[in-house]
Amino acid sequence: MATRYIYRIDDEDEKKVLKTRCRPAKLPDSSLKRLIADMYETMHAANGVGLAAPQIGLSIRLAVVWTPPEVETLEDGSEVEIAPERSYTLINPRIVKMSNEEIIRQEGCLSLPGWYGDVPRATWVTIEYQDLNGKTLRLRKADGLLGWAIQHEVDHLDGILFTERIRDISTLRDMSKEMSVEKPQTVQV
């Protein structure tokens, strides 16, 4: 496994790659295993929850998403895991259905580290994607962090940046100084 360089929105040459609509991945393809491992390593090293292939310079429809375990604090102060961490490898994903309702959250991107803005997203999405063998899978009504991250990563595959989803650009700001002082309430995808 290897950590890959993450392309940046604020570099004009790299932004051209990020703005390109990706081509479908051809399956089965055993060489994708190493690429996927590298993508997870790169995402975790950058403290992200999602990473799309164009963010590492590859214009193929491939993204990885990771959700941390959900932990609940009990009255005695101890913590108990109520949902395990999950990893999703999404090959040729497409959103097939989404809620009509939306939620606005502070959203960031590994391609613009430290910057966050208010982004509206559907409250849930249903996607179809393929596994490494080319089998089509469906993930129904993904919501919360998972649904949010999926929408962000599918946008990357379609050449859409999170900054283009922001309705009030004044909400986009550099929070890297605040984040270095305290744990962020936001997540970069």
Q: Where in the chain are the domains?
A: 12-188
CA dihedral 146, 67, 52, 16 (to 10 degrees): 80
82 HSE (CA, 13 A, CB side): 7
CATH number for the domain formed by residue range(s) 12-188: 3.90.45.10
Quick check: 159 pLDDT over 70? yes
Rg (CA), the chain: 17
Tens of pLDDT, residue by residue over 72-109, are 999 999 999 988 999 999 999 999 999 999 999 999 99
Q: Which of 102, 153, 178, 182 is catalytic?
A: 153
pTM value > 0.75 = yes
Question: Residue 170 and residue 68: Cα distance in Å, rounded?
Answer: 30
Mean pLDDT of 113-131: 97
Cβ neighbours of residue 71 under 8 Å, at least 6 residues apart?
A: 79, 80, 81, 82
Question: Residue 124 and residue 140: Cα distance in Å, rounded?
Answer: 9
Bridge partners of 112, per DSSP, are 109
Quick check: 186 pLDDT over 90? no
Mean pLDDT of the chain: 93
Does 153 qualify as catalytic in the annotation? yes
